[in-house]
Amino acid sequence: MARVEVFAFTVRDHTGKVITITKLATAEFIAKADGAAILGKMRKVDESLLDRFGQVVLDPATLAAKLLRELDAEGEAEAPSGLNRREMATLAQAGLVTASMAAPGLTRYCITERGRQFVRDLLS
């Protein structure tokens, strides 16, 4: 797959205040958002990590990304079904992990190849 450059960027809100967006995006996405790329925050990532709009599928500055890094070190993990439910659902929706029932009230999470690519490109 091809590698693409993505950047953190800034935009102005309705009051003119500058807001930093940490969810990395392509230069095309940033231009459409009337933003400004932060050149020092550029990363090259596999294009499979982008959504259809040009942003990475997950903000690397979130708790979900931290959990993904931990799962990468383990390969798979079992956890009570309610533990970090929102973050784990975010990872599953992005295709970074799979989730299955291990036992009643216990969910098994396994990192996908896309999840491993995300860790290599954005969390290392």
44-71 confidence digits (pLDDT tens): 999 999 999 999 999 999 999 999 999 9
Gyration radius (Cα) of the chain, Å: 16
Residue 78, burial from CB neighbour count under 10 angstroms (0-12, 13-18, 19+): middle
What integer pLDDT is reported at residue 22 of this predicted model?
A: 94
Q: How far apart are CA 51 and CA 34, in angstroms?
A: 19
Sorted by where each starts, the structural domains of the chain and their CATH numbers stand as 3-49 (no CATH), 63-123 (1.10.10.10)
- pLDDT recorded at residue 29: 98
69-109 confidence digits (pLDDT tens)? 999 998 778 877 777 889 999 999 999 999 988 888 888 89
- Give the model's pLDDT for residue 101: 86
Report how far residue 101's alpha carbon sits from residue 29's, in angstroms, rounded to the nearest whole number.
Answer: 37
